[in-house]
Amino acid sequence: MTQRMTLISSPFFIPEIQLQKAGGFAPLFGNDQPLALEIGCGIGDFIVQIAARHPERNFIAIDIFNQGCRQTCSRIEAAGLENILMMRIEARYLMYQYLGENSLAAIYINCPDPWPKKRQRKRRLLNSSFLDLALYCLTDGGEFNFCTDFQDYGEAAGTLLSQDPRLSTRADTPYSHDLEDYPTSKYMRRFLDQGQPIYLCRYRKEAGLQIPKPQLDKGFRMRWVEENA
């Protein structure tokens, strides 16, 4: 389905060509603070909360939906934050093409599309190949945060992450329903208010790892790039 594209004139919205010309995110932020990435920021509830708590970090919010990008920019402006930039770009493409090795202090993935039908599950973002890319991009001790309202996805994510020796966690279980200090988006609160649990996985990359640059297949990543070039 074709999206209705609206012009986003916010100074916090960064087209890909602007990132190319800048040669990286540090010139765009005007400093070299550690970078954190939220993949699929929706309308910006989470990113505004986490960025306000951590002014010592810069945050990149990304989404592929034009309307969500526009609303996120409005929330950033309303919050008066200077440590968030917004991009409409596919996650794997951004990470592989522009971020790279040891570039991120944290990754946040909140309630991504669960692709609930069994035949669709190969389309889920979180799988072993994406995890390889995430760990390549994370710094030593970098945070990998994933949450979902979908039970099967939460359990599968907990299994994948807890069994990877490159990751560690302070939790006693692969995932938790106790969000503790983790910010909640409007979408997440809707499920919590209905008594439905959120499956939260919080892990850190072990130090001293040598992770080779992953090889990415074309798949969705390249189709998205070609269609939106």
Burial class (CB in 10 A: 0-12, 13-18, 19+), 192: middle
Q: Which of 45, 63, 113, 164 is catalytic?
A: 113
Instruction: Kindly give the pairing relationship between strand 104-110 and strand 84-88.
Output: unpaired
* pLDDT the model gives residue 219: 55
Task: Convert the pLDDT of each residue in 198-221 to its tens digit.
Answer: 999 999 999 999 999 998 766 544
Q: Determine the Cα–Cα distance for residues 35 and 57; give it in Å rounded to an integer.
A: 6
Q: What is the pTM (predicted TM-score) of this model?
A: 0.93
Q: Determine the Cα–Cα distance for residues 12 and 28; give it in Å rounded to an integer.
A: 10
Tokens matching residue 156? 């599968």
- The topology (CATH level 3) of 34-227 is Rossmann fold (3.40.50)
Q: Determine the Cα–Cα distance for residues 119 and 134; give it in Å rounded to an integer.
A: 25
Burial class (CB in 10 A: 0-12, 13-18, 19+), 175: buried
Q: Where are the domains of the chain?
A: 34-227
Tokens matching residue 139? 């710094």
Tokens matching residue 70? 């526009």
Task: Convert the pLDDT of each residue in 103-130 to its tens digit.
Answer: 999 999 999 999 888 888 889 999 999 9
Question: Would you give the DSSP letter of residue 213?
Answer: P
Task: Convert the pLDDT of each residue in 41-85 to its tens digit.
Answer: 999 999 999 999 999 999 999 999 999 999 999 999 999 999 999
Residue 193 appears among annotated catalytic residues: no
